[in-house]
Structure 1
Amino acid sequence: MVVTDEQSDHVLDLDRWARLAAHALASRGVTRGELSLTFVDEEAITGLNADHMGEDGPTDVLSFPLDADALDAEPPTPGSLASQLPTLLGDVVICPAVAARNAADHAAGAAEPHPGHPTHDGSLDAELALLVVHGVLHVLGHDHAEPDETAAMQAAEREILAAVAAGEVAS
């Protein structure tokens, strides 16, 4: 797990987010591979959103799966060259500044809750937790383009975040 902070809008506990991302991976049965989790400013996420999604303006999270097919393959033979090379799962990029603005929309009881996400207490920490889990699930192949995909992804988000709330993941 490689976690970097390339923004200065919010102070972040990178170890906490690394633990959550690792738990999200493990909860889906992924015990090997490397994930990059990067926190960026609005300028950086706006550029990535334009370059990779064709969208104008900033967004809260982007995911870039790299080697998802390797997750379905048999583990390499111990001692082989392949066993010495990491499986590159992908990158998750999060913009805390956008997350801070969106947090209230995900609060339980919000007037206009953000569609496609579970609700939470409306704090930045809760929003970042949701985005880390959401981003990891995208790297692992989850999507929310269709109603059944959305339901499955939200159920996985709720399950992982409930484990955090229950103290199963050190915060």
Structure 2
Amino acid sequence: MSIVLDWNNNQSEFEISDEWIEKLTNILQIAAENEGLTSGEVTLTFTNNEEIHELNKQYRNIDRPTDVLSFALNDDGVDELNIIFEVDSEDEIDPISGMLGDIIISVERAEEQRIEYGHSLEREIGFLFVHGFLHLLGYDHQDDEAEEVMTQKQEAVLQQVGLTR
């Protein structure tokens, strides 16, 4: 088995090319391998600031756009960038499908941040994708130590795919 990336594009301002999807699939494979995962599925949705603002407001009670939201299907906590749905026992994840969860990225916000940080949009989206994926696996950045762990894991994946600063 392998890690599967399913994706949707709910924004029209930025083109999502086949090359981007191939790169993100590669990023997902490497991040999963680094975490010892051999199978699973992640859904990635590209959106704009307006839509992610509404989701942020609805699920986090924060009335502004954010860059990435993660919706894990196998956890019950909520943190700064990780929105988790509680699953009723009759709606538990199908162990055969291995669905890990959903990642939503505002491409509009990623563009703003890539300008701010001085790197490519591809690198910013790659970073946000890895960040969201690690949240799906339960990683967090509530304190300095946990943030350092996430940062090291994110940078290791991005280095492996050549998305350095």
TM-score by length of 1: 0.75
Q: Cα gap change, 1:148/1:42 in structure 2, threshold over 3 Å: closer, same or farther? A: same
Question: Partner of 1:160 in structure 2?
Answer: 157
RMSD, aligned α-carbons: 2.1
Q: Within the alignment, does 1:22 sit opposite 2:22 as a pair?
A: no
SS of aligned partner of 1:36: strand
**In the alignment, does 2:59 pair up with 1:63?**
no
| Structure 1 residue runs of 4 or more that deviate by more than 4 Å after TM superposition | none
Larger proportion of strand: 2
Which residue number corresponds to residue 42 of structure 1?
A: 49
Distance 2:25 2:59 in 1: 24
Match of 2:59 in 1: 52
Partner of 1:137: 134
Q: Is the 8 A contact 1:4 1:37 kept in 2?
A: yes
Any unmatched runs of 5+ in structure 1?
70-81, 108-121, 167-171
Using the alignment, how far apart are the partners of 2:147 and 2:12 within structure 1? 32
Structure 2 residue 153 is matched with structure 1 residue 146: no
Match of 1:2 in 2: 6
Could you tell me how far 1:87 is from its partner in structure 2? 1.6
**TM-score normalised by L of structure 2:** 0.77
Distance 1:68 1:33, change over 3 A: farther
* SS in structure 1 at match of 2:63: coil
Please say if residues 3 and 18 of structure 1, whose CA atoms lie closer than 8 Å, have aligned partners that are also in contact.
no
1:72 aligned partner? none
CA radius of gyration, larger in: 1
Deviation of 1:68 after TM superposition, in Å, equals: 5.4
Q: Which residue of 1 aligns with 2:96?
A: 85
Q: Indicate the residue corresponding to 1:110 in structure 2.
A: none
The answer on 1:103 being equivalent to 2:100 is no
1:26 deviates by: 2.1
Distance 2:23 2:150 in 1: 22
* Mapped partners of 1:22, 1:162: distance in 2: 14
Q: Could you tell me the percent identity over the aligned residues?
A: 32
Q: Which letter does structure 2 place at the counterpart of 1:2?
A: D
| 1:71-114 Cα distance to aligned partner (Å, 9 max, x none) | xxxxxxxxxxx99721221110001001000113333xxxxxxx
Q: Measure how far apart 1:21 and its partner are.
A: 2.1
